[in-house]
Amino acid sequence: MTPTPAAASAPPSRPAGKAWRLLVLGAGAVGGYFGGRLAAAGADVVFLIRPPRAASLERQGLVVESPLGDCRIAPQLVASGEAAGAVDLVLLACKAYDLETALAAVRPAVGPATLVLPLLNGIAHLERLDAAFGRVRVLGGIAHLAATLTPSGAIRHLNTLQRMIAGPRAPGQTPVLAKLAGAMGAAGVDFVVADDIEQALWEKYVFLATLAGATCTRRASLGAILANPEGAAFLDDLLAECSAIAAAAGHPPHPAGFAPYRRQLGEAGSPLTASMLRDMERGAPTEADHILGHLVRLAESYGIATPRLHVAYAHLQAYEHTRQPKPHF
């Protein structure tokens, strides 16, 4: 269910004449890509990173390899545990299982006028962020980006889609969004300010949970799943279950807003897989509890039967129980 804390007043404005500054948590595929594009276009961006990633970036810089054009910058770096100073906007692009560590790392940079823009999957993180900083400081955000870190540490953009959707969740948040829109435009990134960001978040959530649940359970691409009637039926049933949960939460997928996702889920021969499956294939932790587990718990609270979703979640729980933990950064 979408969190609805008590209303709060707007955050105070940044003092006149103070430069606009953005803090990006980490320099992985998502944060590193968007932060790198912004920095290359002249924005004041500082990256808060862990020591192993810092060593790589200090040696070779932050490198983006993309069909839209490569770039290399010498990033402003702050190591975890150091003070970055208060900033206007924190871009939070961590995995859900790293959220508590991320909150502790960025807290010193959250001043009286700072807003936080999370680009995490799902919806459950908003309640935790609201509790940590107050809803008045927390925007809603979605990243549409296919990117990965190469063995050398470069960020490889896998296609030409580079879109960020963000929107206000409380009064007084639009001025920072307008500044971010201008900076993203200068960087050549497709940036959309959503009037109803929580509806947009739920529509992506339904899509992602369906994609992750199907591709992880079947250990196959979307095209391979759709190639047989049983697989196609499993995916359709899973989509129906996730949509029913969203509707019970007050955010049924709108036909127009969900149409692009529906086309992707029905594309014959599609090589698309969820990043969660790629995490499984390399023995890494997954966001199964944050994505599928959260939906299962919501379904139970609403009295909605979700047999396909339960199967998918149980499959991922078994994986998490048996995998060999590896360090992740």
The per-residue pLDDT for range 272-312, each reduced to its tens digit, is 999 899 899 989 999 999 999 999 999 999 999 999 999 99
- Return the bridge partners of 144, or none: 163
95 is catalytic: no
Q: Dmax of the chain from CA atoms?
A: 62
Q: How far apart are CA 178 and CA 173, in angstroms?
A: 9
Percent of the chain clearing pLDDT 90 (strictly above): 78
Kindly list the domain boundaries of the chain, sorted by start residue. Answer: 22-195, 200-322
φ, ψ (nearest 5 deg) of residue 64: -115, 125
Bridge partner list, 116 = 90, 138
pLDDT at 186 over 60: yes
Stretch among 13-17, 136-140, 275-279, 325-329 having the lowest mean pLDDT: 13-17
Phi, psi (rounded to 5 degrees) for 156: -105, 115
Strands 62-65 and 45-49: unpaired
* 84 in Cβ contact with 16 (< 8 Å): no
Does the structure show a pLDDT above 80 at 13? no
DSSP class of 138 = B
Least Cα distance to 139 among 104, 179, 81, 105 occurs for 179
Q: How confident is the model at residue 1 (pLDDT cuts 50, 70, 90)?
A: very low
Task: Name the CATH superfamily housing domain 22-195.
Answer: NAD(P)-binding Rossmann-like Domain (3.40.50.720)
Q: Coil, strand, or helix at residue 233?
A: helix
At residue 122, φ and ψ (nearest 5 deg) are 80, -155
Q: Is pLDDT at 81 greater than 80 in this prediction?
A: no
Q: What is the CATH number of domain 200-322?
A: 1.10.1040.10
- Compute the average pLDDT of residues 204-210: 97
Query: What b/e readout covers 74-86, taking b as 16+ CB neighbours within 10 angstroms?
Result: ebbbbebeeebeb
In 3D, which of 288, 319, 6 has the Cα closest to residue 170? 6
* Mean per-residue pLDDT of the chain: 90
Distance (Å, whole) CA 208 – CA 213? 8
Candidate list 18, 179, 204, 326, residue with the active-site label:
204
Q: Please say if the pLDDT value at position 18 is more than 80.
A: no
- Rounded CA-CA distance 261/214 in Å is 14
Predicted pLDDT of residue 323? 86
> Taking 60 as the threshold, does the pLDDT of residue 328 lie above it?
no
Q: Taking residues 15-23, report their average pLDDT.
A: 66
